[in-house]
Amino acid sequence: MPPFDQPVARLRHVRVELGAHRALDEVDLDVHAGRLVAVVGANGSGKSTLVAVLAGFRAPTSGTAELRAGTAVALVAQHTADSARLPLTVTDLVTMGRWRERGAFRPLRRSDRARVAEAIDAVGLTPLAARPLGALSGGQRQRAFVAQALAQEADLLLLDEPTSGLDDASRRAAASALRVAAARGAAVVVVTHDLAELDGVDEVVTLASGRVLARRPESVMRGRSLENVSSVEG
Ligand SMILES: Nc1ncnc2c1ncn2[C@@H]1O[C@H](COP(=O)(O)OP(=O)(O)O)[C@@H](O)[C@H]1O
Ligand SMILES: [Mg+2]
């Protein structure tokens, strides 16, 4: 068993330069199993860059980004471009989330099918499970991608604004699915502008111009608007 306090992901003094632009600077972050961490901040503050570093897509220019050995990562990227044109049903898409465990094109086991059904249910799409993605609303499609990530049962679940543009019911369904994933032991990092999603998070990290401006446990956040939180010094 790994040491109790060993984080799934650990960033230290992370700086990322994109051309002449410093997208992240001096970012320290520990993400622990079973915790739900929200990342908030204005447009351009470095949220997606932070997700890319945690996912391993972007190496820091300086500083260190470490994942615990053997960590499986699932990612819901910001804006799933052209996803409407994928010739897949909701069930097909979510089933792809099992490929890491099962291997692509191998027959699924009963337990895989149960995981897929459970993930679809967690985001409230069971009645639409057989629908092609192209026949869903944008918000429903976005929830299908969240379900695909849930079905992976990854150790580290990264979601970049998974609920932007969704209606109220969809946002609540997606947010509660993330809380369940964390309760089952995943380390979950979600970029959000959405206060409903902040309900029940363990930590809120506020970025401003690539730096961590504030870090708050959720209890401190309750009842505050994002604007207030962003102006609190860390
Ligand atoms: N390839 C790039 N070259 C230069 N600047 C970039 C590049 N990609 C992103 N940026 C800039 O880096 C900043 C952080 O971007 P991003 O992490 O996407 O912010 P957020 O997700 O918080 O909106 C933004 O100001 C953006 O314009
Ligand atoms: Mg972004």
**What is the pLDDT at residue 81?**
59
Residue 20 CA to residue 6 CA, distance in Å, equals: 34
Whether the CB of 44 sits within 6 Å of ligand 1: yes
Whether the CB of 206 sits within 6 Å of ligand 1: no
Whether the CB of 57 sits within 6 Å of ligand 1: no
The mean pLDDT values, 10 residues at a time, for the chain of 234 residues are: 74 96 97 95 95 94 95 84 79 89 76 94 94 90 92 94 82 87 95 77 94 77 46 37
Determine contact, residues 49/17, Cβ cutoff 8 Å.
no
Using CA atoms, how far residue 172 sits from 76, 119, 143, 166, in Å, is: 17, 15, 11, 9
Residue nearest to atom 17 of ligand 1 (CA): 46
- Three-state DSSP at 206 gives strand
Residue nearest to atom 4 of ligand 1 (CA): 18
Whether the CB of 60 sits within 6 Å of ligand 1: no
Report the CATH fold assignment for 1-72+154-234. Answer: Rossmann fold (3.40.50)
Ligand in nearest proximity to the CA of 49: 1
Using CA atoms, how far residue 126 sits from 77, 94, 155, 165, 197, in Å, is: 23, 12, 25, 21, 21
Across 142-162, b (16+ Cβ under 10 Å) vs e yields: bbbbbbbbbbbbbbbbbbbbb
In the chain, domain spans: 1-72+154-234, 81-151
